Structure 1
């Protein structure tokens, strides 16, 4: 493999690895955001149950739910942003992987063409040697 092909493949591999790490980070953040939403829903259900049992908790339930809605809205907003980031990271990773495969293909074709050219040179050299023996 030529030096330029090796360098392009190495750079492309690095880009693919970097994008894979970024996608893993986003996926982890997304899982955390989804867990945060589940916890918020569970907490709200606990507060509603407490309000059914305790009159004082029932009085404060509306204020709690107002704050809960704000926190849930923020968490849902974070999730929307993370969904968009994840989609962008997946698209970038797909593109980088495609580029890597193109470089690998070009490098392989260059290698094969060099083998064919060497074979042709060898055949030509043998043909020339044969002609010289007949002539000489």
Structure 2
């Protein structure tokens, strides 16, 4: 494999690895945001339970639910934003994989063409030797 092909493949591998790390980070952030929503949902259920048995908690429940809706809305917006970022990162990773495969294909084709050319040269040498032996 030629030096230029090795360099292109090495650079492409680095890009793929970088994008994989970025995607993993985005996925972890998404899981964290989804966990925040689940915790908020569990907290509001606890407050509703408490309000069923506590008159003071029942009076404050509407204000709590209003605050909960706002916090949940922010968390849902975060998940939506992270989902879009994740889709973009997946697309970029797919593109990087495709580029890597193209470079690997070009390098392999170049290597095979060099082998074919070397085999042709060797065959031509043997043919020339055979002709010399016949003539001589």
The TM-score range, normalised by the shorter chain, is: over 0.9
Q: CA deviation at 1:17?
A: 0.5
Counterparts of 1:96 and 1:20 in 2: how far apart (Å)? 10
- Give a deviation string over 1:24-72, Cα, whole Å, max 9, x none: 0011000011110000000000001111111111111111111111100
1:6 aligns with 2:6: yes
Q: Which residue in 2 is equivalent to 1:113?
A: 113
- Return 5+ residue gaps in structure 2 as ranges: none
- Three-state SS of the structure 2 residue aligned to 1:30 is helix
Q: Which residue in 1 is equivalent to 2:133?
A: 133
Q: CA deviation at 1:82?
A: 0.5
Counterparts of 1:88 and 1:6 in 2: how far apart (Å)? 28
Q: Which residue in 2 is equivalent to 1:27?
A: 27
Q: CA RMSD in A?
A: 0.8
Q: Which residue in 1 is equivalent to 2:15?
A: 15
Counterparts of 2:32 and 2:118 in 1: how far apart (Å)? 58
Greater Cα offset, 122-131 or 67-76: 122-131
1:91 aligns with 2:91: yes
Counterparts of 1:50 and 1:134 in 2: how far apart (Å)? 106
Counterparts of 1:3 and 1:78 in 2: how far apart (Å)? 45
- Three-state SS of the structure 2 residue aligned to 1:63 is helix
Corresponding residue pairs, total: 136
Counterparts of 2:109 and 2:70 in 1: how far apart (Å)? 58
- Return 5+ residue gaps in structure 1 as ranges: none
